[in-house]
Structure 1
């Protein structure tokens, strides 16, 4: 049994002797087996080899383990508490599956139970290659630097100026990636296999050929981890209402695209604090933005204009039909639907939903208002007052809107 991870060994008696020794975790090659020449005594040892000590340190496990802490084993963390010496061996940044197997074997060894011989390793000094810390970051800036394969240990990957027209399966197989920069390429879309990057929190897709916000980003588990998304300098023309599926998105950059309208649901992304849409084709903003506070927003160099002709001055709300009431319920409760569940007309009807400033969807039973308003945040726009378009679902919302 072998494992590569970071290990920290701390002695529990040092604090009682008023000795403070804070050792740092070191990249370690971990082996589980019997000492050479001691195969008959049946004792199992743990061998820890580091760059400073390639011969390693042996720790007896048989009848020598006080306690095992494995609550965070799914995060690649665990601790083995030994009786003699009084050391705590803490593992971190380990592969959760491999660490789980190691902990199970340690438990068997500590209890003196029958042990599967095929998992035992020879406890010999580690080679230079075995204790070499795996790469966690890789930067590629030209096609000539593009490798035949990528290290599985990568946490950060940058691939710029490589004329990529598709994302290689080798990249989407790097499931430990937390930062990915694919800017300055020619990507028209993202593959479904992109959904494998479930711990990705920073993604840069600027300066590509994207025409839509890739659905895989907000329809897969990536939506649960993604925090920073850069899509500037693409060819995106519209944004989906389903952007609200992002759970942790903090910053969204959509500058230098061809976006004409911003969905009312944008303000319902609860975690969103920074929104950048300079150099687009925006004529107005949804009034739902007025009900949310952002840290920073940039709407410079757009084509803002107030269309008084489109403003509905009526305060008469037609009573919603049964169709609209059903549609409002579906949208409000985020009921998923496809063309297999509903007919084409119903799907089209649901896709035409607008959102009131109260957050509720509305269809025919609504009134429209255009006003000039001021955002409550740091903005980059020559005029502090920006045109807003509001869809209002009831008289109560209309009265509230008139007070803004």
Structure 2
């Protein structure tokens, strides 16, 4: 078997193959023959699914610099080396059905990446550094629709940055440990250093996007509340909202009747209809946000250099936006529960679903005037 493998790789090197199939080879280690001398400089697609690999070599990018697609489905990979970020031409990376517990942030350096498949691992979180221009997570076609699928992992939350996908059509996170979904995701486009100027009235939350049509969060037993911006979408949430305590993480929550809804850790306070004065930190952040975006073009007035990085990132990507008026929110939200509704093609009521829509508002006025049908 070893001699046959070496022969296959040698022929690929000699004949300058662009595609190499090493599926079902019972490989426990990455073949050294692939890394010999200069490697395979012409190789663009490497298929290594259903082996027993546990890791990848550090010099992968050096030896296979022109890789466009790398398929590692159904191995035993626990760790992906930081050097993966040097595969500058990589467009498709399939790591589904492995043993990943984390995804290294260096994947965010893969500026050409369009498909990242991570289903059926042991992930507890996703890296916020993922490429912002990445069109697809798990499957899809670049010119048609965008899909984000991370089913059957151990995810507690979804980073807001990962949802900055301009043409997201389907969001699937079934079979995880989600206790909440992002309150309201601002689809702002940015460069690494300086965000582009986005007028306040052009803020667009994820759920208000026409492109997003399908959201599947089935079998997340801790999840009891769906953000109200998903009201007109096709929703799958069968098996959510089971009466079980969340003990592994500390989450802020609010209750209405018998329903308790968990909120992201970034939420520092929950407002009620009687709270007419916002916290000082919230007022300061909102004022700075509007000032920053109003004068962003005039770098002499307020440049990113004059702000701490943590504050700049928060200004660029707030906790969420009011579902009533789109005002940015940073530390406090005013939640309001609405009953779940039937939507086409979605099994909402299977006898195990206890879940509602939740509107997140920025003030008592918006809380009192918000209606799902308005």
> Do these two structures clear the TM 0.5 threshold for a shared fold by scoring above it?
yes
Match of 1:390 in 2: 359
SS at 2:107's partner residue?
Answer: helix
Q: Please say if 1:196 is aligned against 2:136.
A: no
Task: Indicate conservation of the 8 Å contact 1:372/1:385, yes or no.
Answer: no
Which whole-Å CA distance do the structure 2 matches of 1:304 and 1:279 have between them? 9
Corresponding residue pairs, total: 268
What is the deviation of 1:372?
Answer: 0.3
Larger Rg: 1
- From 218, 233, 236, the counterpart of 2:152: 233
- From 67, 70, 80, the counterpart of 1:154: 67
Q: 1:141 to 1:342 in 2, by over 3 A?
A: closer
Task: Indicate conservation of the 8 Å contact 2:224/2:241, yes or no.
Answer: yes
- Name the Cα RMSD after superposition: 4.4
Q: 1:301 to 1:341 in 2, by over 3 A?
A: same
- From 115, 119, 138, the counterpart of 2:47: 138
What is the deviation of 1:301?
Answer: 0.8
Match of 1:399 in 2: 369
Q: Please say if 1:182 is aligned against 2:95.
A: yes
- From 372, 378, 387, the counterpart of 2:339: 372
Task: Indicate conservation of the 8 Å contact 2:334/2:367, yes or no.
Answer: no
Match of 2:327 in 1: 360
Which whole-Å CA distance do the structure 1 matches of 2:280 and 2:70 have between them? 52
What is the deviation of 1:304?
Answer: 6.2
SS at 1:194's partner residue?
Answer: helix
Task: Indicate conservation of the 8 Å contact 2:115/2:134, yes or no.
Answer: no
Q: 1:399 to 1:144 in 2, by over 3 A?
A: closer
Q: Please say if 1:286 is aligned against 2:227.
A: yes
Match of 2:206 in 1: 268
Which whole-Å CA distance do the structure 2 matches of 1:380 and 1:337 have between them? 47
Task: Indicate conservation of the 8 Å contact 2:71/2:94, yes or no.
Answer: yes
Task: Indicate conservation of the 8 Å contact 2:183/2:319, yes or no.
Answer: no
SS at 1:203's partner residue?
Answer: strand
What is the deviation of 1:277?
Answer: 1.1
Q: 1:132 to 1:248 in 2, by over 3 A?
A: same
Match of 2:236 in 1: 298
Which whole-Å CA distance do the structure 1 matches of 2:309 and 2:70 have between them? 42
What is the deviation of 1:245?
Answer: 2.9
Match of 2:257 in 1: 308
Q: 1:317 to 1:211 in 2, by over 3 A?
A: same
Match of 2:166 in 1: 247
SS at 1:398's partner residue?
Answer: helix
Q: 1:247 to 1:328 in 2, by over 3 A?
A: same
What is the deviation of 1:170?
Answer: 6.0
Q: What whole-Å deviation, never above 9, does each CA across 1:162-192 have from its counterpart, x for those lacking one?
A: 2211113564433333222101212122223
SS at 2:371's partner residue?
Answer: helix
Q: What whole-Å deviation, never above 9, does each CA across 1:124-150 have from its counterpart, x for those lacking one?
A: xxxx94675555352421126988757
SS at 2:151's partner residue?
Answer: coil
Which whole-Å CA distance do the structure 1 matches of 2:49 and 2:177 have between them? 29
Q: Relative contact order, CA 8 A, sep 6+: which one is greater?
A: 2
Task: Indicate conservation of the 8 Å contact 2:342/2:348, yes or no.
Answer: no
What is the deviation of 1:367?
Answer: 4.3
Match of 2:128 in 1: 215
What is the deviation of 1:257?
Answer: 0.9
SS at 1:216's partner residue?
Answer: coil
- From 282, 285, 291, the counterpart of 1:327: 285
- From 173, 176, 184, the counterpart of 2:86: 173
Which whole-Å CA distance do the structure 2 matches of 1:229 and 1:203 have between them? 9
Q: 1:324 to 1:162 in 2, by over 3 A?
A: same
TM-score normalised over the length of structure 2: 0.57
